Amino acid sequence: MGQMDDLLRLLKDHGGSDLHLSSGVLPRLRKRGGLEDIAGQPVLTDGALAALLQQITPPDVWANFERANDVDYAYALPGVARFRVNLFRQEFGRAAVMRIIPEKIIPLEDLKLPPVVESLAHTRDGLVLVTGPTGSGKSTTLASIINKINRTYSKHIVTIEDPVEFVHQNERCIFSHREVGRHTKGFAPALRAAIRQDADVLLVGEMRDHETISLALTAAEMGLLVFGTLHTNSAAKTIDRLVDAFPATQQAQARLSLSESLYGIVSQLLVPTADGKGRAAATEILVRTAGLPNIIREGNTAMLYSIIQAGRSQGMQTMDQCLLDLVGRKTITFEEAYGRALDKQTFERAVKQASELAGTSPSGPPAAPAGGAAGTPPAPPPPASPNKSGVFRRPPS
């Protein structure tokens, strides 16, 4: 379709994840987490950028952007990929970010995630959350889990997104892809309707507000398998965020509903690999055990770390445990792991002990103010004894 399509092809050919276009600067792409100028491209004026963007933006969407100064939509380039597009205005004029969405969904087995993540595709009901900051691979992980369900079971899967990202082909399942703004007025109305649409599985692109969260919990309690995302980086913060979305007078009921419906949380980060050639997924994983509902009901989220640490044999792990494992396998460097560790002092001691046992010496941590890094949480209490109840695994339907 023109120069815009050429830039999107270049993004894919160079292994980038996002294309950044902004008035007054060179086009840039994000590669392995960092931004790089695109060689041979001119600085974009506001008028030139508007002409580029209109090559791939439907007229009604462009008109909406001109009115609201911010719009999201998806653009498909056949044979290349789909792209999630955000157009916005900033101080110097128009700007846009295009994120690549691969046309082919990566099989769950190829993501090199812990095996327990696959078990999430085989549960019958409950709430499963994949969390992490923007660009952490949440959508890719969810798409792979949904793809596993599609290849294994015969179910009706309803996805509610803004915009639709991965488009699944009907294999054993039937898909109903719904886009906020095009097919429904919002997440909440679509969730209400899905409960009456004989859905077996729901994918909620983003759980933004108390009404959406409440309806997702209700759907899970009614026997649906509900997948959702949040921008949190640990299981404890995810549970607190869900509960805090409710008014104070409703939080006790929210904790009760969450305790009965939550099945698993996968918190994910992408960390640059030691060889500089890519990024590795670091995950914190919580799955339902006998003690989890009571901890949620009582609001004792600090004890979640004990649950996770005691559940290593069931596939659970804290983020720090995963980072430590990646350092031990030399997949990522100590410096990259240390910068993302939640309990830095304990993490540093663990790396030092592992290095002494291996007869090696790790690099020292970055300099920190006296008394430890600001905002470092206290070390989680050690578990009194392993959790003997194991994980509740619902039978596949």
User: Domains in the chain, start-ordered, CATH in brackets?
Assistant: 3-102 (3.30.450.90), 108-328 (3.40.50.300)
pLDDT score at 361: 54
State residue 343's pLDDT score.
Answer: 86
Residues of the chain with pLDDT under 70: 1-2, 358-397
User: 76 has which bridge partners?
Assistant: 82
Question: Which tokens go with 374?
Answer: 């600001």
> How high is the pLDDT of residue 203?
97
pLDDT at residue 40 in the model: 86
Is the Cβ–Cβ distance between 43 and 63 less than 8 Å? no
Per residue in 93-114, pLDDT (tens digit) is 999 999 999 878 999 999 989 9
The 8-class DSSP code of residue 211 comes to: H
Cα→Cα distances 164→74, 145, 180, Å: 7, 16, 8
Identity at 350, one-letter amino acid code: A
What is the rounded CA–CA span in Å between residue 73 and residue 334? Answer: 39
Task: Determine which helix (DSSP H) or strand (DSSP E) holds 71, and give its type and residue range.
Answer: strand 70-77
* Beta pairing class for 81-90 and 174-179: unpaired
Q: What is the pLDDT of residues 273-321, one digit of tens each?
A: 999 888 999 999 999 999 999 999 999 988 998 999 899 999 999 999 9
Q: Does the pTM of the predicted model rise above 0.75?
A: yes
What local confidence, expressed as pLDDT, does residue 302 receive? 85
C-alpha dihedral, 259 to 160 to 17 to 26, nearest 10°: -120
